Structure 1
Amino acid sequence: MDITVKDNLLMIKQNINRALQKSGRTDDDVDIIAVTKTVGIEQINEAINAGLYKIGENRVQELIKKYDIIGEKVEYHMIGHLQTNKVKYIIDKVSLIHSLDRLSLAGELDKRAKKSNLNISTLIQVNVAEEKSKYGLRVNQVIPFIEEISKYENIKVKGLMTIAPFVEDPEEVRWVFRDLRRLSEMIKDRNYENVKMDILSMGMTNDYEVAIEEGSNMIRIGTGLFGKRNY
């Protein structure tokens, strides 16, 4: 018998509950963002029917295509690197941008949001492990960056996002999640305008349990839900 998205989701939820219990966060919720990169509409509908209403896309083009077919019955999250010249295509379609990582992007988001009379919710992407292959600010750049962008009235920073290095044993990247949580707490204490630290988006298929143990309340799951894909 084929394993369905519903089966996978049930297992993920059990793992989430175990990680929450382990960390003493039994009253907390963890949002699951279904990463739908290269996933077809049929499988996305299967995920929706299983109760997943937040989908994450890495590419603007694919997000727009899926938005046109699926419509507004789900929340769209932009989780990949966002080029400044693509902002105009998604500003009115996304609930949350996970990958704010530079001033030029902040300026464009604010400009387009103002023009559309919107507030745009974002997370700041932090490259905690300072991997050359990944986007995001270094930990020591985040507070100066926030001090610059907090003046933008139409950008609402909701928290932080990171992608840990891919390793066989997720214990090896526990420090990444711990450091992001500490940074989040530090920012929270400073009470910046237009800046909240409600969301810690960290953890993917390979490491989400460790991420939750370290404070994550939003995980991005692709392979764990839909199986391995050929990119």
Structure 2
Amino acid sequence: MNADIIKENLKEVETRINAACTRAGRERDEITLIAVSKTKPVSDIETVLGENISVFGENKVQELTEKYELLPKDIRWHLIGHLQTNKVKYIVDKVAMIHSVDSLKLAEQIQKEAEKKGIICNILIEVNMAREESKFGVYEEDVEALILEIAKLPNVHICGLMTIAPNVEEAEKNRKYFRKLRQLNIDIKMKNIDNVTMDELSMGMTGDYEIAIEEGATMVRVGTGIFGERNYRTS
């Protein structure tokens, strides 16, 4: 996409984030904007980097690792898509955070690979708040039990929760899911589980990030709103 259009899109997103923060009585620095660069070329990412955005989200391991090699090493990559256990080894030392952990088996594989590399891997637990069959994520009632098990893994650090809300025409319809996720996050945080901080809430995408911020998101994942429609034909 044309660099000027990307810059204008970014300005618009920033304006909307600031407005949502004002409505919610929050500070702008409470929100991390994750520029979702899946299917987008390195040149588009470089345009966004030039606008002082340094956190990028990718859905696929292969795409993330390819871009990792081509771009500055101070980028904070977040894996936001579903992660298969056999691909953990390729990204565990390249990402700032994995958003999509939804099983003990996956967490154990992350532990194994993180221990080999001598690192601590930050993760979020993906929660399927709307109970959509087409989506990954653990159901709300199973989150705490999963966290208690993963918390025993020394090289895996649980930072909070993530959800992918339904694809709706009216963003307001997703408010209830964001509100419930925030309450779940608070409830677990109050239990003071060792190796669990619960400071991050990754929720809200291009269509509903303003509502998510109003309901307590600390991370919003915006792709189309910055880069335009995805290039699936060329991916």
- Shorter-chain TM-score category? over 0.9
Q: How many residues align?
A: 231
| Residue 54 of structure 1 pairs with residue 55 of structure 2 | yes
State how far apart, in whole Å, the 1-side matches of 2:121 and 2:227 are: 29
Q: CA deviation at 1:7?
A: 1.3
Q: Give yes or no for contact 1:5–1:50 (8 Å, CA) kept in 2.
A: no
| Residue 181 of structure 1 pairs with residue 182 of structure 2 | yes
In structure 2, give the amino acid aligned to 1:30: I
The 10-residue stretch of structure 1 (26-35 or 208-217) with the greater mean CA deviation from structure 2? 26-35
3-state SS, counterpart of residue 206 of structure 2 = coil
Q: CA deviation at 1:230?
A: 3.4
The 10-residue stretch of structure 1 (28-37 or 210-219) with the greater mean CA deviation from structure 2? 28-37
**1:36-76 CA distances to partner (integer Å, 9 max, x unpaired)?**
11100111100100111011110000001001111413111
| Residue 136 of structure 1 pairs with residue 140 of structure 2 | no
State how far apart, in whole Å, the 2-side matches of 1:217 and 1:21 are: 14
State how far apart, in whole Å, the 1-side matches of 2:98 and 2:38 are: 16
Q: Taking structure 2 as the reference length, what is the TM-score of the superposition?
A: 0.95
State how far apart, in whole Å, the 2-side matches of 1:43 and 1:24 are: 33
Q: CA deviation at 1:28?
A: 4.7
**1:90-144 CA distances to partner (integer Å, 9 max, x unpaired)?**
1110110000100110101111111111000000000000100100000001000
Q: Which residue of 2 aligns with 1:76?
A: 77
Q: CA deviation at 1:24?
A: 1.4
| Residue 97 of structure 1 pairs with residue 93 of structure 2 | no
State how far apart, in whole Å, the 1-side matches of 2:93 and 2:31 are: 25
Q: Give yes or no for contact 2:31–2:218 (8 Å, CA) kept in 1.
A: yes
State how far apart, in whole Å, the 1-side matches of 2:219 and 2:176 are: 18
Q: Give yes or no for contact 2:77–2:94 (8 Å, CA) kept in 1.
A: yes
Q: Which residue of 1 aligns with 2:213?
A: 212
Structure 1: which 5+ runs fail to align? Answer: none
State how far apart, in whole Å, the 1-side matches of 2:150 and 2:50 are: 38
| Seq. identity, % | 48
Structure 2: which 5+ runs fail to align? Answer: none
C-alpha change, 1:171 and 1:186, in structure 2 (3 Å) is same
Q: Give yes or no for contact 1:92–1:116 (8 Å, CA) kept in 2.
A: yes
State how far apart, in whole Å, the 1-side matches of 2:70 and 2:231 are: 23
Q: Give yes or no for contact 2:40–2:231 (8 Å, CA) kept in 1.
A: no
- Please list, as runs of the form range in 1=range in 2, the aligned pairs for 1:19-38 lying within 5 A after superposition: 19-26=20-27, 28-38=29-39
In structure 2, give the amino acid aligned to 1:55: F
State how far apart, in whole Å, the 2-side matches of 1:6 and 1:49 are: 9
Q: Give yes or no for contact 2:18–2:28 (8 Å, CA) kept in 1.
A: no
C-alpha change, 1:27 and 1:66, in structure 2 (3 Å) is closer
Q: Give yes or no for contact 1:204–1:220 (8 Å, CA) kept in 2.
A: yes
In structure 2, give the amino acid aligned to 1:120: C
C-alpha change, 1:165 and 1:27, in structure 2 (3 Å) is closer
State how far apart, in whole Å, the 2-side matches of 1:73 and 1:28 are: 19
3-state SS, counterpart of residue 30 of structure 2 = coil
Q: CA deviation at 1:27?
A: 6.2
**1:142-167 CA distances to partner (integer Å, 9 max, x unpaired)?**
00001111110110111110010011
Q: CA RMSD in A?
A: 1.3
Q: Give yes or no for contact 1:30–1:216 (8 Å, CA) kept in 2.
A: yes
Q: CA deviation at 1:17?
A: 1.1
State how far apart, in whole Å, the 2-side matches of 1:15 and 1:52 are: 16
- Please list, as runs of the form range in 1=range in 2, the aligned pairs for 1:194-209 lying within 5 A after superposition: 194-209=195-210
